[in-house]
Amino acid sequence: MSIIDKLMVKPWIADQGALEEQNGFAQPAKKIALWIFLAVVSVLFSLFISAYFMRMELADWRPLADPGLLWINTALLIVSSVALQWARVSADRGQFSGLKFGLLIAGAATLAFLAGQYVAWQQLIALGYFASSNPANAFYYLLTGLHGLHLLGGLVVWGMTTNKLMGGSQVDEVRVTVELCAIYWHFLLLVWLILFGLLLAT
Amino acid sequence: MTDTTPADVGFAPPAEVEEVELYHAKSWITKYVFSQDAKVIAIQYSATAIAVGMVGLVLSWLMRLQLGFPETFSFIDAADYYQFITMHGMIMVIYLLTALFLGGFGNYLIPLMIGARDMVFPYMNMLSYWVYLLAVLLLMASYFVPGGPTGAGWTLYPPQSILPGTPGHEWGIILMLVSLVLFIVGFTMGGLNYVVTVLQARTRGMTLMRLPLTVWGIFIATILALLAFPALLVGGVMLLLDRVLSTSFFMPSIVLMGESLDYGGGTPILFQHLFWFFGHPEVYIVGLPAFGIVSDLLSVHARRNIFGYRMMVWALIAIGGLSFVVWAHHMYVSGMNPYFGFFFATTTLIIAVPTALKVYNWVLTLWRGNIRLTIPMLFAIGFIFTFINGGITGLFLGNVVVDVPLSDTMFVVAHFHMVMGVAPLLVIFGAIYHWYPKITGRMLNETLGQFHFWITFVGAYSIFFPLHYLGFLGVPRRYYEIGETAFIPASAQSLNAFVTVVTLIVGFAQLVFFYNLFRSLTKGEPAGDNPWQATTLEWQTSETPPGHGNFGDELPVVYRWAYDYSVPGAVDDFIPQNKAPDETTGRSEPT
Amino acid sequence: MAIAIVVVLLIVGSTVFHFMSPWWFTPLASNWGSIDDTIMLTFWITGVVLIAINLFMAYAIWRYRYQKDRRAEYEPENKKLEGWLIGLTTLGVVAMLAPGLIVWADFVTVPEDAHVFEVMGQQWQWSYRYPGRDGILGTTDNKYVDFDNPFGIKPDDPYGQDDILVQSDEVHVPIDQPVKVLLRSLDVLHDFYVPNFRAKMDLVPGLITYFWFTPTKIGSYEVLCAELCGQGHYAMRGIVVVDEQIEFEAWLAEQPTFAQSMALARAPGTDGQEQTASAQSVASISADYKISDEQLNLLNAYLDSSLE
């Protein structure tokens, strides 16, 4: 029954309003929450990017340099995303070692990505691209910073999950969380690719 | 006519109801302070919101004193006045109305009305409240920093909001923005909870179209809030950086009092777009829960099904969707491209159609009802009356060319206070009189309630109706004092004085309400489980107030929609949602 | 019961209030009678709806008040009725919107022959500029603003030399000539609002905004700032005087041009004055609006802090 059909039901008529086996989606509540949260974050970044385009039109916009380091950082983030996918698949198959290594690699790569982003900031500041000197710079720090914050939030969940696993939990107990982490990382990778593309293109 | 046949069949498949694992509080602290029970969190949210709302109320008295009797109170100077209006606006819109409707009513009513034991993420729900409390405390802290709270107006328009010349540009504006960011973070945690709970935790038989309109209203409003608050976050963070790091997202080159500032190149209009992309849906974030709740109050107390339930649901969805494409009607004279006016005037007036339909259906619910004029019903009628008035003046301000002379005048003040101040507050009062018996097990005192209603309803209307006429005259809003002008007659001052006096009377009438709230805790008449003879699930709990887990051993199973009132052939004039079809011919004791 | 009566009384009271109210639009002094017409159209359509729905509601409350042995009618929906109501509402909305949009099309279309003047806002005063004989305003930029050049006119712009500067809250416009008002702000948002002209528009720093009107009635009209611009917002007033053409020209001739004012500033004898532009603005506010001493102190204190 599609959502439109559901909304067309006349609930006062017995057979139309009849009981169903299943209310809601056949997915864990956590996963639904994650999807909604991703929608919220998408709106957030879309609005930032709209603001970016509107501000870019004005006369004082001076694009900033693209540090070569960002290519390495991008690679690191891809690695972390792939590693989490590996962990997710391993968890689905009940393979403890794959799950463990996937998680560890993902965490390490993410930390390296964040460190790399920080170094890129330092490089830009050393080159004289201060936040206050041009809106292009300000947007760069703001958007990368915000993206990094979201990754940090993800790392908290990653840390708890890894800790749980190392403390002797069964694969099944962390399966859903690992899946959610993987989805979240893929999403943040996508956001990063869009931001990076935006930076290169403007 | 099969269309009007009540639900007299229905089947309950033997599927197992998925039981949620409940967190059981072990100590007093985890039970009442760091509680994960939505009902306790609801009360925490409500109490905090009402407390901060009292601050907002007192601020309104202070500003009305100044407007009613200018040059009388030496302790109110222009800077104070602008701080009053700013804090009053922000407190009332965000920290009172949004928090109370979603954090308060949402938390209490959603799980009970959909037949769930609790919210799906109780821990996050608890966190949501504590972050909200922190946001409130930060906001209040701005009274204790050098320069005091910001006086930039609740819209916080740059460049003015972060420059000297506006009170509170030192610390007040920073605290305001940080507090808003925290509020949004806290709200997002709560909001995810409300939405996922409605989607996933409905009890067996509670299909979407069997949800009470209260739940629909809160549900749609929460979705709006989740998608709209990011715009405020974006604008707020960028403004904060402009203030703290001297970036120029919104700041053009500025010569302030002869001094050239370091800003340059930005555009203040960008902020306005972001602000109103949040700000307009915000009106409906406050409005839709009120629409939903008032629908249920009317239906219960008129002993009649809500008229046109489906249309009511569709209208909620349509209004919610449209609310994202009307934002620039707040900006007709902002200097944005004037051709936008054609688009936004059209979308804005389109939104009037589903809204008007809701009004018709409320009135048609009364028509051929059997109306019990209880206190909640009185407040519901008061809502319809003030909402029609405030909605209609929205047609003035939405129609771009009519808005030009009226924008930024007292007409705007009168309009939005009527439509999103008085009207939703009347619903809140009605809802408190309606659900207090469930929350405490006792009725609120009827005589005190009558007193409270009449003063509040007639008073609030007398405050805001005349202000429209000052707006027609051209009296601008946000004026510390009018001073001497040729076009404003002296009689306008008498009107202002009258409005101030009424404001004080209405304000003090609220003390009677608070007295009633506290007195009835111990002295109120015992309410029983279902004093209003209502159909929805929260009235069918085995204990009142409902215990931890809401529904005793077994969750209720729902067999019908929420509006089986006065069904032909049934013994009683109401059939609870969880009453099986074969039971309707007997006495309908709550199960 | 009481509520039905009170609803009727409030409706009657509001109607009486409307007809008795001494507070209504100021006399129109511009061509924007069409705006007034749209307002009145909206007023009567919505007024009738307001009265009709509320009286119907009051009747329903009275007619269907609680009786123990009566049952409400069970009627989940009535598609036909709802359809009609939607249709009628849509019709009413179109009736208000269509004329509104037609007038708006006028509002955004400046006549070819409109002459131009500029309004400049700063905390918390107005000043004005007319193009000189060449009919073209000189380029401006905030970076040129200083004590001698408060308008920030580009010093070597030939179009700017004959610009006529009005460093006063009062400006004159000739009657019956369409005028395009260019709006510019040095510091924060302001809004140039003359109730009698109906039109208004924000001044946005960094942008030049505009609107147009044709003054149609001789007289002097008050200008108010209608966009919150800091704590002196309420004191930011001005005057627009609508003159016959001849008087307008005489007034204009008394005002200095940019070239004249620059020459005056460079002339010996004025150098010694230590007065700053901002101190001037405080003085002019207090002189014109009788601000209390306390407020004056506040403004001064604020100026000190901002200028450090």
pLDDT digits (tens, 9 = 90+) for A61-110: 998 888 889 999 999 999 999 999 999 999 999 899 999 999 999 999 99
Residue B116 distance to chain C (closest CA, Å): 27
Residue in B7, B231, B558 closest to A12 by CB: B7
How far apart are alpha carbons B347 and B361 in whole angstroms?
22
CB contact under 8 A, B160 and C17: no
Chain C: residue whose CA lies nearest to B387: C50
State the 10-residue block means of pLDDT for chain B, 591 residues long.
39 45 75 90 97 96 95 92 96 97 97 95 96 98 95 95 94 97 97 96 91 97 97 97 94 90 93 96 96 97 96 97 95 94 96 96 96 97 97 95 96 96 97 97 96 97 96 95 89 95 95 96 94 96 90 89 92 91 56 38
pLDDT given for residue B27 in this prediction: 82
pLDDT given for residue B4 in this prediction: 35
Quick check: is B214 in a domain? no
Neighboring chains of A (3 or more beta-carbon pairs < 8 A)? B
- Pair (B588, B507) in one structural domain: no
pLDDT given for residue B9 in this prediction: 41
- Pair (B410, B458) in one structural domain: yes
Chain B: residue whose CA lies nearest to A22: B204
pLDDT given for residue C304 in this prediction: 55
- Pair (B337, B381) in one structural domain: no
C278 pLDDT higher than 60:
no
C280 pLDDT higher than 50:
no
The ipTM value here is 0.94
Asked if A156 is an interface residue toward chain B (Cβ–Cβ < 8 A), one would say no
- Pair (B281, B420) in one structural domain: no
Range of the domain at B397: 373-483+500-524
Residues of chain C in contact with residue B242, where contact means CB-CB under 8 angstroms, are none
CB contact under 8 A, B249 and A138: yes
CB contact under 8 A, B257 and C64: no
pLDDT digits (tens, 9 = 90+) for C23-38: 999 999 999 999 999 9
- Pair (B518, B389) in one structural domain: yes
pLDDT given for residue A16 in this prediction: 66
CB contact under 8 A, C71 and B566: yes
pLDDT digits (tens, 9 = 90+) for A128-138: 999 888 999 99
CB contact under 8 A, C66 and B338: no
pLDDT given for residue B589 in this prediction: 43
Asked if A172 is an interface residue toward chain B (Cβ–Cβ < 8 A), one would say no
How far apart are alpha carbons B324 and B281 in whole angstroms?
6
- Pair (B40, B152) in one structural domain: yes
Residue in A39, A44, A139 closest to B233 by CB: A44
Chain C: residue whose CA lies nearest to B469: C23
Q: Which of B203, B247, B584 to mutate to test the interface with A (most CBs of A within 10 A)?
A: B247
pLDDT given for residue B11 in this prediction: 41
Q: Chains B, C: CB contacts under 8 A, how many?
A: 369
Domain count, chain B: 4
Quick check: is B13 in a domain? no
pLDDT given for residue B21 in this prediction: 64
pLDDT digits (tens, 9 = 90+) for C63-113: 999 998 899 999 999 999 999 999 999 999 999 999 999 999 999 999 999
Residue C8 distance to chain B (closest CA, Å): 11
CB contact under 8 A, A61 and B209: no
Quick check: is B565 in a domain? yes
CB contact under 8 A, B405 and C198: yes
Domains of chain A in start order, with CATH, are 30-201 (1.20.120.80)
Average pLDDT value for residue range A148-177: 92
Residues of chain B in contact with residue C147, where contact means CB-CB under 8 angstroms, are 258
pLDDT given for residue A31 in this prediction: 93
CB contact under 8 A, A12 and B557: no
Domain ranges of chain C: 2-66+76-108, 115-273
Domain end position, chosen among B321, B356, B391: B356
pLDDT digits (tens, 9 = 90+) for A35-67: 999 999 999 999 999 999 999 998 889 988 888
Q: Quickly state the pLDDT bin for C267 (edges 50, 70, 90).
A: confident
Neighboring chains of C (3 or more beta-carbon pairs < 8 A)? B
Identify which has the larger pLDDT, C291 or A86. Answer: A86
Average pLDDT value for residue range C213-224: 96
CB contact under 8 A, B7 and A19: no
Average pLDDT value for residue range C229-245: 94
Asked if C232 is an interface residue toward chain B (Cβ–Cβ < 8 A), one would say yes
CATH topology of domain C115-273: Immunoglobulin-like (2.60.40)
Quick check: is B495 in a domain? no
Q: Which of C54, C140, C234, C308 to mutate to test the interface with B (most CBs of B within 10 A)?
A: C234
B201 Rama sector, left if φ>0, alpha if ψ -120 to 50, beta otherwise: alpha
Quick check: is B367 in a domain? no
CB contact under 8 A, B8 and A18: no
Lowest mean pLDDT among A177-186, B575-584, C155-164, C173-182: B575-584
Give the DSSP per-residue string, chain C: -HHHHHHHHHHHHHHHHHHH-S--PPPP-BSTHHHHHHHHHHHHHHHHHHHHHHHHHHHHHHHTB--TT---------HHHHHHHHHHHHHHHHHHHHHHHHHHHHHH---TT-EEEEEEEETTEEEEEE--TT--PPPB-GGG-SSS-TT-B-TT-GGGTTPEEE-SSEEEEETT--EEEEEEESSS-EEEE-GGG--EEEE-TTS-EEEEE-B-S-EEEEEEE-S--STTGGG-EEEEEEE-HHHHHHHHHHSPBHHHHHHHHHSTTSTT----HHHHHHHHHHHHH---HHHHHHHHHHHHHHH-
CB contact under 8 A, C38 and B399: yes
- Pair (B148, B229) in one structural domain: no
C281 pLDDT higher than 50:
no
Q: Which of B11, B127, B196, B243 to mutate to test the interface with A (most CBs of A within 10 A)?
A: B196
